[in-house]
Structure 1
Amino acid sequence: MKSLLTLLLFLFAIHLYAQKTYVFLGSYNKDKSAESLFVYQLDPLNGKLTKITAAKNLINPSYLTVSPNGKFVYACTESKTPNGGSVSSFEFNSKNKTLTFLNKQKSGGENPVYVSVHKNGKWLVNGNYTEGSVSVYPLLENGKIDSIAQNFQYTDGSLNKERQTRSHIHSTIFSPDFDYLFLPDLGADKIRSYLFNENSKMPLQEAQTPFVKTNLESGPRHFIFHPNKKFGYCIEEMAGAISVYEYDNGNLKTIQKIYTHPDTIKEGFESSDIHISPDGKFLYASNRGNENNIAIFSIENDGTLKNIGYQSTLGKHPRIFAIDESGKFLIATNVITGNVVVFKRNPVTGLLKKTGREIKIPNVSCVKIKQYNEL
């Protein structure tokens, strides 16, 4: 019995040693000589971040994503750059701790803000904010981005004459089964949708329902599906709210609208990012502007949300945050104060508590977390 326990402890130690979690961070940075895309390792016990590597010669790698196999990193580059805009690819070698630039392509519109990779690792989708467009690229086996396969431009706006004179695509979200693509459009108060045929050279195809209207001046921004695939949640930047949808085969049906801020706050909403814990029990939403916090919600059996608290991000302008695959940690990036803060997540209550030591990265804008098995 004692020898069996010793063996189990030994195997657990090997497993713990072999599994490593890496944190990828982007930033707004116009100085090519300075580091702007970073990789840190996350300690699974105390939440400490340790720098592994970084990349230079980039302008504003503002948003990024990691390929399903973890080998490649894709970033929106030249964001907020007049007459600029590109998407760039990098190879990440977790064993050698290296991040190597591969190539880049024009983004098909000014100010790219969001990139997604299909689960098969063969397609990249990019959303451009300023000109309101979406671009689709084939991905090569070596991780490089091929030439644009499709680009759709939108021109319709909405009610707010300061912010909604035209379309502003703010994210590109695959459905749970990756057979649809959803595009929250802040400028047009719509969530656009397409069928996605991964086997076609032009995968975006017209959907039976091309868009769902949101409330006027809501400004839909980011979207996420529940792990059970039955519900979708869209955070609305201008309204400071979350719209909850029932989801079925490409169709979204509104079932709730709930604010991300207390009733005492009446204006200045800048709601930003949205994520769900891996167990599907809690939803988190970031607020910038006057609040600078994470709103915490419990998710009821019918998919609706109930607010259970708020956690300051301990900085200003939390544009993007992420939850690690174990659900143990939430990491927030504060652009204006340039600090990255790790919070430990209580799996029972859903509440957050700062842990580890925060790190400083000027104009840090995005975070992604990926677990690797290095056996």
Structure 2
Amino acid sequence: MKNFLIFIFTICIFLNFYSQNTYAFFGSFNRDKDTEGIYVYELDTIRGNLSKITTFKGILNPSFLTLSPNGKYVFACTESKTQNGGSVSSFEFNPENKSLTFINKQKSGGENPVYLTVHKNGKWLVNGNYTEGSISVYPISENGKIKPYVQNFQFAEGSINPDRQDRSHIHSAVFSPNFDYIFFPDLGADKIRTYRFENESKQPLQNAEIPFTKTTLGSGPRHFTFHPNGKFAYCIEEMGGTVSTYSYENGKLNNLQRINTHSDKYKDDFESSDVHISPDGKFLYASNRGKENNIAIFSIQNDGKLKTVGYQSTKGKHPRVFALDPTGKFLITTNAVSGDVVVFKRNSETGLLKKVGKKIKIKNASSIQIRKY
């Protein structure tokens, strides 16, 4: 009887493990509402293969995606790179019937929305508009519907590069580990803008004691992430081809280090793009587009500083955005120009990457989010 109960218990654990599915959500610059814009694939967490589950048409240029904390809703920057356009859209994802259903959309409050983030309570959506440099804040209904924005801040000042920094260009929006502050890297102004976030207020963005952190002139801060321990933050600088390391406490950033994302053979025309940290906090990954088309790999030291480990080709062109799965076992990159997606298996000891699975084609692939259900 005892052995039988152990057998039943083991079977239950086995079935529960395999009832969990990991999905990857991809956005694209589809340029045409009559073509597919959002793609959902299932990730084989053993072999690293991707299998198409569903797609969605009828939207234009869903350039960046983010998920609600419970994974029920997908939010997208839509009508990106559309003159006099720009919107944010909401979708419901049902993992049981593997469907993606449009809910609604709102004006982005600016041209060319490029980044979305959701508060941990699922009630607030924050958007960054690149072209003219603005941010918008939206309440989210319980049914995933986006309400009209309640705040919209416009910035104007640029920096030293007249071709790229004639004015503000907000490129991302990232909450602090405690969700009491939010940070906006501004590529055009060479600043990381900071606001307090009071989630119980009708207008949650409030002035911070330190309203911005200056970055190196001409560096072009782009994407931003926090270490799992909450003590360090990292900003990838598109124009500088660098990552800056900061210590973090109560809304304040203190620069610790600035390190190249590229090898010595590259001297200019950098297009550094995205940055993520492995769930174990041991390695940081940074993507380089343009001439390089690779992922720079860094080990993270105890003091938060980075040490270069190596570089991994993305097997395609223009790795705009990439992501790690929740376990940290896989890294998936979107190559926008070559129009493909590549899966890499991550060595948790060395941080190095190895291509696995089969490359899939997604025209102008621009964004990815990964979640286990």
Deviation readout 1:262-281 (Å, 9 max, x if unpaired): 11210120000000000000
Deviation readout 1:51-73 (Å, 9 max, x if unpaired): 11111001100001011100000
Determine what percentage of the aligned residue pairs are the same residue: 66
Give the counterpart letter for 1:339 in structure 2. Answer: D
* SS across alignment from 1:262: coil
* SS across alignment from 1:14: helix
| Separation of aligned partners in 2, 1:61 and 1:13 | 37
> Which position in structure 2 is the counterpart of 1:315?
316
| Separation of aligned partners in 2, 1:232 and 1:8 | 43
| Separation of aligned partners in 2, 1:184 and 1:267 | 21
> Which position in structure 2 is the counterpart of 1:327?
328
> Which position in structure 2 is the counterpart of 1:158?
159
| Separation of aligned partners in 1, 2:100 and 2:90 | 10
Q: How does 1:186-265 map to 2 (within 5 A)?
A: 186-265=187-266
Give the counterpart letter for 1:326 in structure 2. Answer: T
- The alignment status of 1:10 with 2:48, answered yes or no, reads no
Q: How does 1:47-86 map to 2 (within 5 A)?
A: 47-86=48-87
> Which position in structure 1 is the counterpart of 2:142?
141
| Separation of aligned partners in 1, 2:309 and 2:6 | 41
* SS across alignment from 1:19: coil
- 1:14 is displaced (CA, Å) by 1.3
Deviation readout 1:176-199 (Å, 9 max, x if unpaired): 000001000000000000000000
- 1:5 is displaced (CA, Å) by 5.4
Give the counterpart letter for 1:235 in structure 2. Answer: I
Give the counterpart letter for 1:41 in structure 2. Answer: E
- 1:7 is displaced (CA, Å) by 3.9
Give the counterpart letter for 1:313 in structure 2. Answer: T
| Separation of aligned partners in 2, 1:4 and 1:344 | 36
* Cα pair 1:246 1:252 within 8 Å, conserved: yes
- The alignment status of 1:110 with 2:111, answered yes or no, reads yes
Runs of 4+ in 1 over 2 A off after TM superposition: 1-9
* Cα pair 1:30 1:58 within 8 Å, conserved: no
- 1:8 is displaced (CA, Å) by 4.8
Deviation readout 1:83-139 (Å, 9 max, x if unpaired): 000000000001010000000000000000000000000000000000100000000
| Separation of aligned partners in 1, 2:32 and 2:170 | 27
| Separation of aligned partners in 1, 2:259 and 2:7 | 51
* SS across alignment from 1:298: strand
**Alignment: residue pair count:** 372
| Separation of aligned partners in 2, 1:335 and 1:11 | 42
- 1:326 is displaced (CA, Å) by 0.6
Which TM-score applies when normalising by structure 2?
A: 0.98
Structure 1, 313-322 or 24-33: larger mean CA deviation:
24-33
Which TM-score applies when normalising by structure 1?
A: 0.98
Give me the CA root mean square deviation.
0.9
* SS across alignment from 1:61: coil
> Which position in structure 2 is the counterpart of 1:95?
96
| Separation of aligned partners in 1, 2:32 and 2:263 | 39
- 1:18 is displaced (CA, Å) by 1.6
Give the counterpart letter for 2:342 in structure 1. Answer: V
- 1:312 is displaced (CA, Å) by 0.3
Unaligned ranges ≥5, structure 1 = none
- 1:44 is displaced (CA, Å) by 1.0
- 1:12 is displaced (CA, Å) by 3.0
Give the counterpart letter for 2:103 in structure 1. Answer: L
